[in-house]
Amino acid sequence: MRVNLKAALSDRHLDSNQPKNQRQLHISLSADAESGGRTLPLNLCLVLDQSGSMGGKPLETVKKAAIRLVEGLSPGDRLSIIAFNHRAQVIVANQTAENITPIIRKIEQLRAEGGTAIDDGMKLGIQEAATGKKDRVSQIFLLTDGENEHGDNERCLKLAQLASEYSITLNTLGFGNHWNQDVLEKIADTAGGTLRYIERPEEALTAFSQLFTRLQSVGLTNISLNLQLIPEVRLAELKPIAQVAPETIELTPQKEGDSYFVRLGDLMVEQERVILANLYLNQLAPGNHTIARVGVRYDDPGLGQTGLQSETLPITIEGQTVYQAQPNPEVQQSILTLAKYRQTQIAEEKLSQGDRAGAATMLQTAANTALKLGEKNAATVLQANATRLQSGEELSEAERKKTRLVSKTRLQDD
């Protein structure tokens, strides 16, 4: 298994007469199975909300979805299960999935009662996952339907950072319409995972199945992107790097000398992660220049190897006295994807400030951007919410959550 790494600039030509220039660097990476592919052993931890609000059909459907996942594990995979309400407890300690009958029985015995303490569930989940992560793909599925009323949201984010440092990917599933989208999104973004929205109980099976399929497609773990810049080039100070596929996430680079490092989590086989870096360039003389180098550090659980290094790609640009633009269409698409996300963010900020007209305008802009991307269903959601605001209506919690979802991800039907 190796890293398939590609990079391109938004325009590989540069006007040598200009004192300042701006370019976007598009980096795509995926795991490449050189010998026909292989399934890596898994280390899965389920952290499930069993608070009183999950009573009835919600918890019953979640239990069915969890059992379906357990049945899909191989005997060599490892599993742990945490249940939480106002306190958390280990339902299934980290163990191999050789005998799943008692595990299923434990899941069936879950009962809904009490409040919600998400951070307590996260803490136990990380502890259990950490005991079985050697030479495995380690992920946590965290599901909740409510606010962290008995916990601390800042602690949740610190625990998500800890999971990332332990090379444990943390995915979040928001059930119903009363969970805190900002918190669950930040948890997933920080720990290299993804956020799923389960609007209705019957959608739980599909959401868990999609995450499990994604987990099974992981080929390499603990991915860290390394971007080295020449002195004439710098990253933008505000929002310098973002992931635009498979979800849009603002990333925080760590600077070491003339290099920047960004944690990315797991890498899937044949599904690209696409990163967009915003670069500012000082004036460069005519001719070809290597302005940056890109590489990836990673672990290969299948071989039990850590700290591996990919090839290093040079990023070149041609300075021209008579500038002829050469925009890259693929990079332009990624720029639009990031624009859609940021336009929606601005709309949410304006709405929180009471500027309904400004929010509607920005949602319309985001809808137009979605159309340029060919995302018709996303454009429909964004435009419908803009129209509601213009007509004086309030957006429901479900509508707000769908707006964020279509800003971050491409809907399957698009």
- pLDDT, tens only, 269-291: 989 999 999 999 999 999 999 99
Q: How far apart are the C-alpha atoms of 95 and 102, rounded to whole Å?
A: 12
Question: In the CATH scheme, what architecture does the domain 2-30+220-232+251-327 have?
Answer: Sandwich (2.60)
Instruction: Work out the burial of residue 18: count CB atoms within 10 Å of its CB; fewer than 13 is exposed, 13-18 middle, 19 or more buried.
Output: middle
Residue 412: its pLDDT value, please? 67
CATH code, residues 42-216: 3.40.50.410
Residues in the chain: 414
Q: How far apart are the C-alpha atoms of 273 and 196, rounded to whole Å?
A: 18
Rounded to the nearest 10 degrees, how much is the dihedral formed by the CA atoms of 79, 194, 178, 340? -170
Q: How far apart are the C-alpha atoms of 21 and 144, rounded to whole Å?
A: 46
Residues 408, 382 contacting (CB under 8 angstroms): no
The residues that bridge with 227 in the sheet, in sequence order, are: 260, 294
pLDDT band of 414, cuts 50, 70, 90: low
pLDDT band of 1, cuts 50, 70, 90: confident
pLDDT digits (tens, 9 = 90+) for 113-128: 999 999 999 999 999 9
The residues that bridge with 273 in the sheet, in sequence order, are: 29
Domain regions of the chain by residue span:
2-30+220-232+251-327, 42-216, 332-408
- What's the whole-number average pLDDT of the chain? 95
**Which of 307, 302, 309, 308 lies closest to 135 in space, CA to CA?**
302
Tell me the C-alpha to C-alpha distance, in Å, between residue 98 and each of 188, 216, 342: 29, 18, 46
pLDDT digits (tens, 9 = 90+) for 316-366: 999 999 999 999 999 999 999 999 999 999 999 999 999 999 999 999 999
Instruction: Work out the burial of residue 311: count CB atoms within 10 Å of its CB; fewer than 13 is exposed, 13-18 middle, 19 or more buried.
Output: exposed
Residue 357: its pLDDT value, please? 96
Residues 147, 181 contacting (CB under 8 angstroms): no
Q: In 348-365, which positions are buried (b, 16+ CB within 10 angstroms) versus exposed (e)? A: bebbeeeebebbbbbbbb
Residues 4, 37 contacting (CB under 8 angstroms): no
Residue 257: its pLDDT value, please? 81
pLDDT digits (tens, 9 = 90+) for 31-89: 987 655 557 999 999 999 999 999 999 999 999 999 999 999 999 999 999 999 999 99
Residue 33: its pLDDT value, please? 78
Q: What is the pTM of this model?
A: 0.94
**How do strand 313-320 and strand 13-15 relate by DSSP bridges?**
parallel
Q: How far apart are the C-alpha atoms of 388 and 347, rounded to whole Å?
A: 13
Rounded to the nearest 10 degrees, how much is the dihedral formed by the CA atoms of 241, 247, 249, 255? -40
Residues 126, 159 contacting (CB under 8 angstroms): yes
pLDDT band of 411, cuts 50, 70, 90: confident
Q: How far apart are the C-alpha atoms of 367 and 384, rounded to whole Å?
A: 9
What percent of the chain has a predicted confidence (pLDDT) above 70? Answer: 98
Q: How far apart are the C-alpha atoms of 145 and 154, rounded to whole Å?
A: 18
Residue 256: its pLDDT value, please? 86
Mean pLDDT computed over 265-271: 91
Whether 170 shows a pLDDT value over 80: the answer reads yes
Residue 161: which region, alpha, beta or left (left: phi > 0; alpha: psi -120 to 50)?
alpha
Mean pLDDT computed over 131-148: 96
Tell me the C-alpha to C-alpha distance, in Å, between residue 355 and each of 48, 182, 183, 359, 369: 37, 20, 23, 6, 21
The DSSP code for 395 is: P
CA atoms within 13 A on the CB side of 412: 4
Cβ count near 253 (within 10 Å): 16
